[in-house]
A and B are shown apart, each in its own frame.
Chain A
Amino acid sequence: MTSLACSGVATGTPAGDAALNRVNVFELTQAAEDAVLAPVDAGAWPAETRAAFAVRIAKLNRSKTLVAQYGRRPGGDGPLADPANDGTAQNMGVVVTFMDKVAAQTREVRANDITSLQAAGVSDADIVRLAELNAFLAFQIRMVAGLSLIKGDIA
């Protein structure tokens, strides 16, 4: 399971024992990862684009382990994975601006961030898909970061 593997939490440690009691959460997280990174109905965002955004958002969060993990997916090394790329060359400028803001400046998101996507021709269903991808990554990145902090805590 990605989240547990990336956190470095080992069995036989206090953090590992705590994780064992929540094994269903790790299993459900893996199911959610599959649902947002490689869904059956991907809408306008194929798995390769999703992998690139996953790497990009992990980079914005300085999550080295998840950058590496998502980087191994097909498309994970695509141009959108680089936070310095504003997406214009890929005709994805509005989408990239939205994804970066939702990931890194969540509190600043306003209604006009949604109307900008709509004006660029992104359907409502595809807007929800972008939000879910971004939101899941926020969850997994913090879960791995938090678990990494407690893995060595054996006091």
Chain B
Amino acid sequence: MTHDLNRRTLLKAALGSAGLSALGSLPAFAQDARIRLYWWGSKERSDRTLKAVALYQERNPSVKIDGETLAWGDYWPRLATQAAGRNAPDLIQMDYRYVAEYARRGALLPLDEFLGKSLTISDFDKASLDSCKVDGKLYGINIGNNSNALIYNKAAFQKAGVPEPIDVTWDKFFELAAAVTKAHNGEYYGTSDGSSEETAFENWLRQRGKALYTEDGKLGLTEQDATDWFAMWAKAREAKACPPADLQALDKNNIETNLLTQGRAACAFNHSNQYVGYQVLNKNPLGVTMYPQGAGPNPGHYLKPSMMWSIYARSKVAEQAVKFANFTVEDVDGAKVLGVERGVPASPKIRDAVSAELDDMGKLVVGFIAHVTPKVGPIPPAPPKGAGEIQTMQRRIAEQVSFARLSPADGGKQYVSEAQAILSRA
């Protein structure tokens, strides 16, 4: 390589050992493909992913995979910057919330042409495939499914002598929650306030036959729907089933500040794949169940990919990247290394193979998904541009209502008018 001394090498040499470590990133010889793999997550996910990478490289010596990992909050600004610079990683761990944003702006590669060739996911059920489609094209490979899940502190319900909130209606749920609060002398609340959670709102809307967005990307709810939602929570707040606004506002929409983790409330509205994240921060055993139900038969739940693999539109090694992605979801050995850490695998054969080796927490999550699966409805169409902004907006309006700066009716009105303004701008 010494004959190839260029400007870059010289600069690095000038930087001494700092440069030496950087030299490691230069393309090596005798390798057909070099894949940049990018995912968010914590240490356990990194360990598992890198192990899968090592196994894959062992079997495919001509492929070199460079792993890049960051936490959720740092992940997206970097991806956006790199994509803006036309230098995004080849294989990108993608979130359901962002896939439409990236796909519609042409940053992701449609994967339909790989189907049946290097992408052998024909055993995925329709929902697991459709959930990764945007405007009819496949932009993601489902790594694992999750669903909305109510995560609750079993001990808090036991102590109150109240049954656990398994498959109950909203009315019953608030009744139980209020009883828990009372049993803990009002110091600890039966549930955290879910009025600002978009997942809870969406679930509830689906129970009444509505949706956040229609097929053609319009708002799928009316002022009355939003008003009823805010009013329901206002009533719960009054009954002390959920905490007052100033306590709830300490929740910053992540696991560590959630009132369940903080030891201030017994229930959290979240996703099934986050159960483990909650459990490791809690001393008491946690249970996981479906969100409270409406009057109708539809529980509002649906299965969605907790994560998917997407390919960068400008990737030069798309084929190889797809092959590695396929290895993690369709090859028993590859999938076993990942386990259910990213969600419950969509392929039945993989699910069975993986389930055999799970610990108790993993079994609980897989069991929950098995429990929900027969009851789920179809996945909603990919959200329109601006959906992310509306999610943030809901949080603000819910807070305005809970701090009594808006009546539920005004909150409902404002939700619809602001959401429409955002959709028309996007």
A is bound by B:
no
Contact surface of B with A, Cβ cutoff 8 Å:
none
